[in-house]
Amino acid sequence: MTGKITVVGSGYVGLVAAACLAELGHSVICVDNDLNRVATLQAGGVPIHEQFLPELLQRHRGKRLEFSSSLPDAVAASSVIFIAVGTPPKDNGEADLSYVESVAREIAQNLNGYKVIVEKSTVPVYTNEWIRQVLNLTAGPHADFDVVSNPEFLREGTAVTDFLYPDRIVVGADSERAAELLKGVYAPITNGSYYQNIDRIPEPDSALIPPPLILTTAKSAELIKHASNAFLALKISFINAVANICEGVGADIQQVAKGMGSDSRIGPQFLRAGLGYGGSCFPKDVAAFHAVARECGYEFNLLEEVMRINEDQRTRFLKKIRTALWTLKGKKLGVLGLAFKGKTDDIRESPAIGLIQQLLAEGAHVIAYDPAAMPRTREVLQDKITYADSPYDVADGADALLILTDWEEFAKLDLKHVHKLLRYRIILDGRNLYCKDEMEQYGFIYVSVGRQPVPLRQLARVG
């Protein structure tokens, strides 16, 4: 067992990491310079929507997990310090590391004995060296510390189970001393002891227990994170490009994806055609990886195409909306989904938000519903759209229903009731949640991605 652990940052990565490290039995201090956020967490609030996170916070708050705004005090009390602050993209695609540098400088000013500083934020290669240099310049050459890269592979919506039941744990350490300390941090997972607890978070299907711990150099660990996310984004853009071909030749992308994904060398994950990727990771990480390659003298043109296809998916879907409705000005459009994907309230780089903004620019009236993301959407769109209380309120009197986020409840609607509520029987499904036969059976005009539309037979008023 290690000494106390500090996690700097209480965003998606930091808060999940802090709660899960406490779940593993560690004493954890989660530090943030946002005083309101710290107060919210201390008072029992949960600032993000994440499955199992409320349970972990309630279980460990005030016991193994404390929240603080004092980084100096946390550094002094801890042997391991995780940096999990934001690294937003600059205009040129490079990651903005100013927050990481600021935290590293403050850590250096408060070193009191050997510390392991762990970069948990998604950062480009060489960040480990820059953190080390900042620490040396600030604390002096005789300061006793190591810097480790420990990339996270958390998916929003399943981040807690991804942390506790990972496919792998990557530790990039350039010293044996630091590597041993990180091994101790993750020992309850790698030796399987956590999975013996009766009150453990339930394991997902096909969980690898225990997962492997992969030791690498710091540079390799940094590249593993960016390369992994870029490859997954590539799979999404690839299947969307194939979906566009399917529309042109009359094939069905779901059948094609099933045939492709059955090949063990390819696998079915991330082969779902739709509106493209979004969120806080893929757009930022692909752009940052492209910038890293360019800085190294390599033009990674494949990544440019990945980004172009992703943007094109939204443009193509907007054209489908225009085609189905002829003109958008004055139309009442019901939108299901605001988050960039289901099971999260994150709207950063959400295809739904981008499409809504384009619809508003063309004069459409939008009424929307999302199980979790409406408060965050209000911060961005204010009252430019109407917010509904249920999917059926969205459909009531709408000229068309747009499905833009893959929430499970959107795939289980009472279609007979929706049929009665809609002004026109038009559904545009950007997530392919329904089968064409079902839509045809209920008499909908149905447009999806990578499949032939259920044709317009009679555009009749309903009700």
What ranges do the domains of the chain cover?
4-216, 237-309, 314-447
Do the beta carbons of residue 68 and residue 29 sit within 8 Å? yes
Q: Are 215 and 179 in contact (CB under 8 A)?
A: yes
Best CA proximity match to 2, nearest among 194, 182, 210, 193: 182
Q: Put the strands of the sheet holding 445-447 in their side by side order.
A: 386-387, 365-369, 332-336, 400-403, 426-429, 445-447
Question: Measured at the alpha carbon of residue 211, what is the angle toward residues 279 and 182, in degrees to the nearest 5?
Answer: 85
Cβ proximity of 366 and 336 under 8 Å: no
On whether the CB atoms of residues 450 and 247 are closer than 8 A, the answer is: yes
Which pLDDT score, from 0 to 100, does residue 459 have?
41
| Predicted local distance difference test score (pLDDT) of residue 281 | 86
Query: What separation in angstroms does the CA of 255 have from each of 250, 251, 271, 316, 428?
Result: 12, 8, 11, 21, 20
Architecture of domain 4-216: 3-Layer(aba) Sandwich (3.40)
SS3 129: helix
Determine the Cα angle at 446 with ends 390 and 327, to 5°: 85
pLDDT at residue 205, rounded to an integer: 87
Q: How far apart are CA 187 and CA 202, in angstroms?
A: 19
Q: At a CB cut-off of 8 Å and minimum separation 6, what does 199 contact? A: none
* 343 half-sphere exposure, CB direction, 13 A CA radius: 12
Dihedral angle computed from the Cα positions of residues 92, 97, 102 and 106, in that order, rounded to the nearest 10 degrees: -170
Between strands 28-31 and 65-68, the pairing is parallel
Radius of gyration of the chain (CA): 24
Per-residue pLDDT tens over the stretch 189-232: 999 999 999 999 999 988 889 999 999 999 999 999 999 999 99
Question: What tokens does 264 get?
Answer: 């063990």
Q: What is the pTM of this model?
A: 0.91
Prior bond of 391 cis (ω within 30°): no
Give the pLDDT of residue 2: 66
pLDDT value for 457? 62
Joined tokens for residue 62: 């005030």
pLDDT recorded at residue 456: 65
> Active-site residue 281, yes or no?
yes
For residue 247, how far is the Cα from the chain centroid? 28
Per CATH, 4-216 and 237-309 having the same topology is answered: yes
Longest dimension (CA), the chain: 80
Give dist(CA 282, CA 284) in Å, integer. 5
**Domain range 237-309, CATH architecture:** 3-Layer(aba) Sandwich (3.40)
- Write the DSSP symbol of residue 89: B
pLDDT score at 216: 97
Q: In 326-373, which residue ranges form alpha helices assigned H by DSSP?
A: 351-361
Given 246, 281, 296, 435, the catalytic residue: 281
CATH architecture under which domain 314-447 falls: 3-Layer(aba) Sandwich (3.40)
pLDDT digits (tens, 9 = 90+) for 119-173: 998 777 788 889 999 999 998 777 899 999 999 999 999 999 999 999 999 999 9
Q: Are 7 and 14 in contact (CB under 8 A)?
A: yes
Strand partners, 332: 365
Answer yes or no: are the C-beta atoms of 382 and 375 closer than 8 Å. Answer: no
List of the chain residues with pLDDT < 70: 1-2, 456-463
Q: What is the token pair recorded at 436?
A: 């064409």
